[in-house]
Structure 1
């Protein structure tokens, strides 16, 4: 479970949809002066070197954020995302969700960052710091349940595990259901991959096959809960048949704030053609549980 390193995948199409959604949710919380808590259950290193051997080996950022650097559109949310990312991109780096949150948070807001990987926790502590930031070397699922609810009632929880083992999908659903009962005022944003058969190797094929349908199962489990609302957002850069492994990804958002769905839909309309890897790329925003 500890072999996953996000440095291989930093800045890919999945990071784009995940971090755009994160930024919009933080912006919604900042519309009120009162502080809030941002929790990141699987923080990773917080900042990634795009010239590192890991990033260069996969080159996934070249099909992700690199395609957005010349964005000339008028969608303000995409403009804000590209402006933030560009500052790091000029220095051949990409900010993970903890660093993005750090740049956006105010003095009255609190960041709680969790990471269990022994090397990544050291990288996180080196890359992200501040007076209102607490970093915990612990399992994010356990940490979320232990710390919910925090003293500040408003908050955002980003749940972004590696899904290295198939059981993590069920663990996400179970943990979120328990956390929601303790902290029903929080926004929960759950990232998930969309997996297709791989054709590159026997081992890779087996890995992808074991994960196929798991995200759909996760969404079905979440839909059975008594949440106030549940919003599903997906971006597929190609089709399942054409995909080699992860052909897209999504965000499941519990307690999605007013107009968040509309803003994500408008942003994805701009991003989909830029990130498309085939003419069959698609995006969608839909309510699984409507208020």
Structure 2
């Protein structure tokens, strides 16, 4: 599970969805002056070079952030996202979720970052630092449970695993349910891939069958728990039957803030056609548990 490097996938369509959702949630938390605590369980390197050997090997950013190049965004969420990443793009860089959070947080807010990969934690420490930022070389699941609840009532937890091992889907379920019992006022944002049958094994996944349906089963398990609310957001860049592997991704938001569903739906109306890789591309925003 320690072989995964996000540098191969930085700036892809999954990152675009994840980071727009992340920014919208942080903006909601910033609407009140009182500070909050942001947790990132799988921080990665924090910042990625799009001209690196890894990024150029897969070129996934070509079907992600490059699709937004030159786009005149009328939607505020997309516009804010483009404004943030453009400064990095000029240096062939893409900001990961820790860097995005750092750029948005205020002096009264706190950032807690966790990463278990030996090389990535060194990259993270080199790329990020500063007041009110704590960086931990530890397993993100264990770290989240050990460090919650923080001394701030309000906050956000971003859980963005690689899902290299099929067992990790259940690990997400177990961790979130336990963390929620300790800190039920936090907003939990879980990224997950949408995966179809794959004709041959891929270096980033165990096999073609081990991942298909796992995200859906994870969501089903989580909705059996009595959360206050659960919002499901999905962006499918092509049809499930047209792709071998990941054909889209989703964000599951527990304790979703007021009007987040409306904001992201308006965003996806503009974003989905830009990210589409076929006529079968689609998006959905649904309440799995509504207050």
- Tell me if both proteins adopt one fold, taking TM over 0.5 as the criterion: yes
Q: Does 1:2 align with 2:2?
A: yes
| Cα distance per residue 1:190-229 (max 9 Å; x no partner) | 0000011223x35569623210010001000110001000
Aligned pairs for 1:249-268 (under 5 A) are: 249-268=249-268
**1:80 CA drift (Å):** 0.3
Distance 2:49 2:73 in 1: 27
Pairing 1:112-131 to 2, within 5 Å after superposition:
112-131=112-131
Map 1:71-150 → 2, pairs under 5 A: 71-150=71-150
Which residue in 2 is equivalent to 1:174?
174
Q: Distance in 2 between matches of 1:139 and 1:43?
A: 11
Aligned to 1:213: 213
RMSD (Å) for aligned C-alpha atoms: 1.0
Alignment correspondent of 1:164:
164
Post-superposition CA distance 1:13-39 (Å, at most 9, x none): 000000000000000000000000000
1:23 aligns with 2:23: yes
Query: Whole-Å Cα distance in 1 between the matches of residues 202 and 127 of structure 2?
Result: 34
**Distance in structure 2 (CA, Å) of the matches to 1:176 and 1:197:** 27
Indicate conservation of the 8 Å contact 1:69/1:86, yes or no: no
CA distance in 1, matches of 2:240, 2:97: 27
Unaligned runs of 5+ residues in structure 1 are none
Does the aligned pair in 2 maintain the 1:153–1:186 contact within 8 Å?
A: yes
Matched, 1:44 2:48: no
Give aligned pairs, total: 290
SS of alignment partner, residue 248 of structure 2? strand
When normalised by structure 2's length, the TM-score is 0.98
Alpha-carbon deviation of 1:73? 2.9
Deviations 1:220-241 (A, max 9, x none): 0110001000000000000110
Counterpart for residue 244 of structure 2? 244
Moved more, 251-260 or 206-215: 206-215
Structure 2: distance between partners of 1:208 and 1:109: 42
Superposition misfits of 4+ residues, deviation over 2 angstroms? 201-206
Structure 2 alignment gaps of length 5 or more: none
* Aligned equivalents of 1:2, 1:142: Cα separation in 2: 15
Name 1:198's counterpart in structure 2: 198
Question: In structure 1, the residue corresponding to 2:233 is in which secondary structure?
Answer: strand
For 2:186 and 2:73, the matched residues in 1 are separated by 32
Range 62-71 or range 93-102, more displaced: 62-71
